[in-house]
Amino acid sequence: MPLTIVDDAPLAPLTTLELGGPARRLVEAPDEAAVVEAVRLGDERGLPVLILGGGSNLVVSDAGFDGLVVRIASRGRSFVAHGGEVRLEAQAGEPWDDLVADAVARGLGGLECLSGIPGLAGATPIQNVGAYGQEVSETIRAVRALDRREGRVVELAPAACGFGYRDSAFKREPDRYAVLAVAFGLRPGAAPRLRYRELEDALGARPAPTLADARAAVLALRGAKSMVIDPRDPNRRSVGSFFMNPIVPAAEAARIAAQAAPAEMPRFPAGPGLVKVPAAWLIERAGVSKGFRRGAVGVSSRHALALVHHGGGTTTALLALAREIREAVRARFGVVLVPEPVLVGASL
């Protein structure tokens, strides 16, 4: 079937923030072959290409995108025994939480703490999506992608993906790869891996929590923070966490904690000599409160790390608020927060 290209296509309705201008061209790709064809078409015509999934981690400028947007709509998943694991292969357009729910229902461990995260499967390796002590890099066994530089479809092993904290080779080279499918290695009959204190506390009354228990607890925790998509939630227009949690040397963490005194700063080990500091805690201690609002944009009333659009706003206003928050944290603690979502046509 030939590709259908739409001119001057609105992008705001295709993002969870519901902000941003139009795309010069937009094409919906219903399968892997169409994704490859559309990206190659854009490259051949010399157009900038933006791969759009669920739009849940995207901040589009008010000017929009002067190029070709390829909206991923490929579907399909399979579960196959592979050694001592079960291999889940998912097309890039599979809704992420549907995959997690399916894996949990089959008694397959490895994704349960990533429940409730909006977006599509193909985006998860790009951001190395993580929550409640799990990251997708722990279970990813291969990523199939179009290598735009070499002009061919490749299968990348985890080592070639360059995973880091909310980072990957795909994120560092956004114009090189278009993710087509992802393979995960899951553990049959596994118990949930509980590494996050808040989740452990939520499951504390259960002596032997199941994968389903862990999923239910994560969904409840995320829901309480407006970190799931709910059309009834006044905080619903967001990209989730707007800033990444800083990872700093232990000595730097001690300095930040001393500046925060007498408040006790939460901190988490993040590797040899490294400490993860909660960005939401820094934001609130820098004087930015949950529920703060400036016109049509503001801070979530449930989580200081989420910036929200209340309707009728602009990306310019949202980014101005983000800069103000970043500056408040820098002035108070000497820490520069880094945005987590992808900024299209804009910067901080």
31 burial via Cβ count (<10 Å: 0-12, 13-18, 19+) = middle
Active site residue ranges = 166, 241, 340
β-strands 49-52, 65-72 pairing: parallel
- The length of the chain in residues reads 348
**Distance (Å, whole) CA 147 – CA 157:** 14
* φ, ψ for residue 221, nearest 5 deg: -65, -45
186 with 85: CB under 8 angstroms? yes
Q: Residue 307: what residue type?
A: L
Kindly report the backbone phi and psi dihedral angles of residue 97, in degrees, each rounded to the nearest multiple of 5, phi listed first.
-65, -25
Give how far the C-alpha of residue 180 lies from the chain's centroid of Cα atoms, to the nearest Å.
Answer: 17
Closest residue by Cα to residue 149 from 124, 170, 123, 164 = 170
What is the rounded distance in angstroms from the CA atom of residue 259 to the CA atom of residue 275? Answer: 16
Q: How far is CA 205 from CA 81, 186, 208, in A?
A: 33, 26, 9
Residue where the block lists tokens 């500046």? 259
The amino acid that residue 182 corresponds to is: V
- Count Cβ atoms within 10 A of the Cβ of residue 186 and give its class: 0-12 exposed, 13-18 middle, 19 or more buried: buried
Q: How far is 339 from 97, CA to CA, in rounded Å?
A: 23
What is the C-alpha separation between 260 and 238, in angstroms, rounded?
28
3-state secondary structure of 219: helix
